[in-house]
Amino acid sequence: MDIQTIGIVGAGQMGNGIAHVLALAGYDVKMTDVSGEALENAMKLIEGNMSRQAGRGKISEDDMATALKRIDTSTTLTDLGPSDLIIEAATERETVKQAIFEDLLPHLKPHTILTSNTSSISITRLASRTDRPEKFMGFHFMNPVPVMQLVELIRGIATDEETFSACKAVVDRLGKTAASAEDFPAFIVNRILMPMINEAVYTLYEGVGNVQSIDSSMKLGANHPMGPLELADFIGLDTCLAIMNVLHDGLADTKYRPCPLLTKYVEAGWLGRKSQRGFYDYRGDMPVPTR
């Protein structure tokens, strides 16, 4: 099918980034959120990010103006009903995602494809709660969306080939690369990345190294662009913990046990950059390690 209109559920970090790249690629986008303020902030952020791209010569001022006009916003979820494709980018909680799809179902067109930007939750299980499991799949963008080149496409057990091909065509039009993943806990990227981050937290927890030495070791010793604890703060420690719990519960292997220190930071509300404190304290001019 030819996808022209795309609905996005959620105007947060992922949702606004997805809207940004879709609009630049020529899609008509409608972005919804329960918060009107979140939608306003998202549009300001998108405009600011596009301005930076224009300043660097990556897009023209005309491209930017046209793309911004393609993005419509609404606080009413069911306004997404006429969309050809819907990408859910709400919080990483299965009950929230299920409720969103349940509210959408009566308002969808027969051909509408439903997708989730989930980083770890079972696509098959989410799809089974809808009336169109064959037209449901995982559409997992990486953060920050305008910069990162990969999109994981995850088939549920019932996803048909037409749905996969339509979503793959969207990724191609964005100029990004699709990686096809099977529907197992955390898929590909987070199946590999999150245990590494969790092991870095264990290394800190056991006193093998402090925050600075662990991050410096991986940046200079393994040529990683960011240290694992710095990266955890960027992702959000609550998200890291949620994915580790999905891995631990779904695969029943003790190697995926979340580090108690990671749990402790989340309990304290020290979630990383978004809360100004995590493995680093971001409240001053420069980030300062908290351990």
Contact of 140 with 191, CB cutoff 8 Å: no
Q: What is the 3-state secondary structure (H, E, C) of 40-95?
A: HHHHHHHHHHHHHHHHCCCCCHHHHHHHHHHEEEECCHHHHCCCCEEEECCCCCHH
92 is in an annotated binding site: yes
15 is in an annotated binding site: yes
Of the listed 20, 116, 140, 198, which one is catalytic?
A: 140
SS3 158: coil
Of the listed 119, 120, 122, 198, which one is catalytic?
A: 119
143 is in an annotated binding site: yes
13 is in an annotated binding site: yes
122 is in an annotated binding site: no
Cα→Cα distances 263→18, 61, 105, 244, 256, Å: 29, 45, 36, 10, 13
SS3 115: strand
17 is in an annotated binding site: no
166 is in an annotated binding site: no
Of the listed 116, 117, 152, 198, which one is catalytic?
A: 152
CA pair distance 116, 127, nearest whole angstrom:
10
Of the listed 116, 190, 198, 230, which one is catalytic?
A: 190
Active site residue 198: no
Active site residue 140: yes
228 φ/ψ sector (left φ>0, alpha ψ -120 to 50, else beta):
alpha
Residue 107: both structure tokens together: 């308002």
Active site residue 122: no
97 is in an annotated binding site: yes
CA pair distance 142, 126, nearest whole angstrom:
20
41 is in an annotated binding site: no
7 is in an annotated binding site: no
Residue 235: both structure tokens together: 């992702």
Active site residue 107: no
Positions marked catalytic: 119, 140, 152, 190
Q: Which residues are annotated as a binding site for NAD(+)?
A: 10-15, 33, 92, 97, 119, 143, 274
Q: Which residues are annotated as a binding site?
A: 10-15, 33, 92, 97, 119, 143, 274
